[in-house]
């Protein structure tokens, strides 16, 4: 256990004493895992603080050794890797050019392991939204990225498109774009419907600001192309909407929960079905997620919830509004856990959350038992607070 002073909203420094963490070594289980759900963790990239560059203006400086080591860590825990997604800061520091390098490296690492599950974010982020962008431009942009990922032998996660959200005049334009792309893909893809709470530029996706109306358009696309679709990940932070959609999916199409507020109960499921997982929070709580999924696979619902339920308040804090800055919390927890030696992010995004936010994250991570070594975490937390003038 460790004791340190943490700031509170009433401008005080309050002592906090850590508890006992999970036994991280035991959770590795010798590399043997018994999951009965497909589970992807959307992985972050590790910045290189020793490279001279302007993080707001220059291409990102990436520490490739630590970035790849983090993927190996996720695979060791039995989790799949959802690569080059928004957790990797696509659209918030990581360009398509950088994503191509990341995809090549990660696919090579997955192949070297032989059994590693991986899928790759594929979108239109190299096409800047604007009034002159047409639907055909959006299709060509998707085709370019699809061709690259397929050329690397990777599974596609078809990401939502800011350019399409800007160019589309109604649901029909979405149907046109997805019909064209899905008719061409070689292997089944995962569709990603990212809500506006994660990216305000995606407001009104599928042609309607009403999620229930948008869902109908999306379901039509899924039904038409069910043979080309592995599943759909929806990130709307609404368990009711996810369950409603899950119950209307074609039988062969998986629901991948992207709900970082309600994932435990959605993965556990109900009498009519369950959700698989493709979650950014699994980057931060990977050992607890792995152990919980093992417990569920062994038929122990109680242990599943005992392990995963305490992580939900942490996740809700990390993903609190403005939700798009959740990456800051994910990387901060990797730093506290010794998975990287610094709290520096691509694009300078370490400034995306306040000292009070990070202090509460520390408390909640400790209560969720996901800090590997509380002494190390406390020492690092003291240094961060000192930088904020809160020593």
Residue 28 lies in a domain: no
Widest Cα–Cα separation across the chain:
59
What is this structure's pTM? 0.96
Per DSSP, the residues of 244-268 read: HHHTTS-TTPEEEE--TTTHHHHHH
Would the pLDDT of 28 be above 70? Answer: no
* Residue 299 included in any domain: yes
pLDDT of residue 32: 81
Residues 226 and 90 in one domain: yes
5 lies in the same domain as 110: no
The pLDDT assigned to 58 comes to 81
pLDDT class of 324 with cuts at 50, 70, 90: very high
pLDDT attached to residue 230: 98
Q: How does pLDDT run across 59-112, given as a tens digit for each residue? A: 889 999 999 999 999 999 999 999 999 999 998 899 999 999 999 999 999 999
Let me know whether 16 and 44 are in one domain: no
Last-in-domain residue among 274, 296, 323 = 323
Query: What helix, strand, coil percent values describe the chain, rounded to 5?
Result: 50, 15, 35
- Answer whether residue 38 is part of any domain: yes
Query: pLDDT tens across 238-292, in order?
Result: 999 999 999 999 999 999 999 999 999 999 999 999 999 999 999 999 999 999 9
CATH (domain of 65): 3.20.20.70
Q: Does 80 reside within a domain?
A: yes
Mean pLDDT of 339-362: 96
- 195 and 267 together in one domain: yes
Token reading at 201: 């530029």
10 Cβ contact partners less than 8 Å away, ≥ 6 residues apart: none
Q: Do residues 225 and 318 share a domain?
A: yes
Co-location of 291 and 370 in the same domain: no
Query: Which residues make Cβ contacts (< 8 Å) with residue 25, sequence separation at least 6?
Result: none
Same domain, 224 and 367: no
**What pLDDT score does 55 carry?**
80
My answer on whether 362 and 306 are in the same domain is no
Write down the pLDDT at residue 18: 97
Q: Which domain covers residue 177, as residue numbers?
A: 33-323
328 lies in the same domain as 317: no
Q: Are 310 and 369 in contact (CB under 8 A)?
A: yes
Residue 368: predicted pLDDT = 96
Within-domain flag for 27: no
* Residues 231, 128 share a domain: yes
Q: pLDDT band for position 29 (50/70/90)?
A: low
End-to-end CA distance of the chain: 19
Residue 49: Cβ within 10 Å count: 14
Q: Over 90: is that where the pLDDT of 234 sits?
A: yes
In sequence order, the β-bridge partners of residue 212 are none
- The total number of structural domains that make up the chain: 2
**Does 134 fall in a domain?**
yes
Residue 15 falls within a domain, yes or no?
A: yes
Tell me if 205 is assigned to some domain. yes
Distance CA 58, CA 346 (A): 10
The pLDDT value recorded for residue 30 is 63
Q: Are 259 and 364 within one domain?
A: no
Do 268 and 362 belong together in one domain? Answer: no
**Structure-model confidence comparison of residues 161 and 26, the more confident one:** 161
Task: Name the band, by pLDDT with cuts 50, 70 and 90, for residue 31.
Answer: low
Q: Which run of H or E residues covers position 53?
A: none
Integer CA distances (angstroms), 68 to 41, 81, 103, 109, in order: 14, 11, 11, 8
Is residue 163 within 8 Å of residue 127, measured between CB atoms?
Answer: yes
**pLDDT given at position 115:** 78
Chosen domain end from 294, 323, 352: 323
Mean per-residue pLDDT of the chain: 95
Point out the domain boundary residue: 282, 302, 323.
Answer: 323
């Amino acid at each position: 256990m460790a004791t340190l002073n943490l700031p509170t909203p009433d401008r005080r420094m309050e002592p906090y004493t850590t508890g006992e963490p999970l036994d991280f070594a035991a959770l590795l289980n010798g590399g043997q895992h018994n999951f009965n759900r497909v589970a992807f963790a959307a992985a972050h990239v590790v910045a290189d603080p020793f490279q001279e560059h302007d993080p707001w203006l220059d291409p990102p400086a990436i520490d490739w050794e630590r970035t790849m080591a983090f993927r190996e860590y996720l695979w060791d825990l039995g989790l799949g890797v959802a690569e080059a997604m928004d957790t990797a800061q696509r659209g918030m520091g990581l360009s398509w050019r950088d994503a191509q390098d990341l995809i090549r490296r990660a696919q090579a690492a997955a192949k070297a392991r032989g059994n590693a599950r991986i899928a790759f974010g594929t979108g239109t982020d190299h096409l800047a939204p604007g009034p002159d962008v047409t639907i055909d431009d959006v299709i060509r942009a998707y085709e370019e990225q699809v061709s690259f990922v397929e050329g690397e032998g990777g599974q596609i996660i078809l990401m939502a498109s800011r350019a399409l959200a800007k160019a589309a005049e109604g649901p029909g334009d979405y149907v046109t774009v997805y019909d064209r792309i899905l008719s061409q893909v070689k292997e089944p893809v995962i569709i990603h419907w990212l809500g506006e709470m994660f990216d305000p530029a995606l407001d009104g996706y599928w042609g309607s600001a009403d999620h229930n109306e948008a869902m109908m358009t999306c379901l039509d696309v899924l039904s038409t192309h069910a043979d080309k679709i592995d599943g759909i990940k929806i990130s709307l932070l609404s368990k009711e909407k996810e369950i409603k959609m899950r119950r209307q999916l074609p039988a062969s199409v998986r629901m991948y929960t992207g709900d970082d507020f309600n994932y435990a109960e959605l993965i556990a499921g109900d009498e009519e079905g369950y959700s698989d997982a493709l979650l950014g929070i699994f980057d931060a709580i990977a050992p607890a997620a792995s152990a919980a999924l093992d417990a569920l696979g062994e038929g122990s619902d109680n242990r599943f919830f005992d392990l995963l339920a305490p992580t939900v308040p942490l996740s809700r804090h990390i993903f609190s509004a403005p939700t798009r800055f959740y990456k800051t919390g994910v990387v901060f927890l990797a730093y506290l856990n010794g998975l990287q030696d610094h709290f520096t992010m691509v694009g300078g995004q370490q400034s995306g959350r306040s000292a009070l936010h990070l202090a509460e994250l520390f408390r909640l991570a400790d209560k969720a038992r996901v800090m590997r070594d509380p002494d190390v975490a406390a020492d690092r937390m003291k240094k961060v607070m000192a930088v904020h003038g809160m020593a």
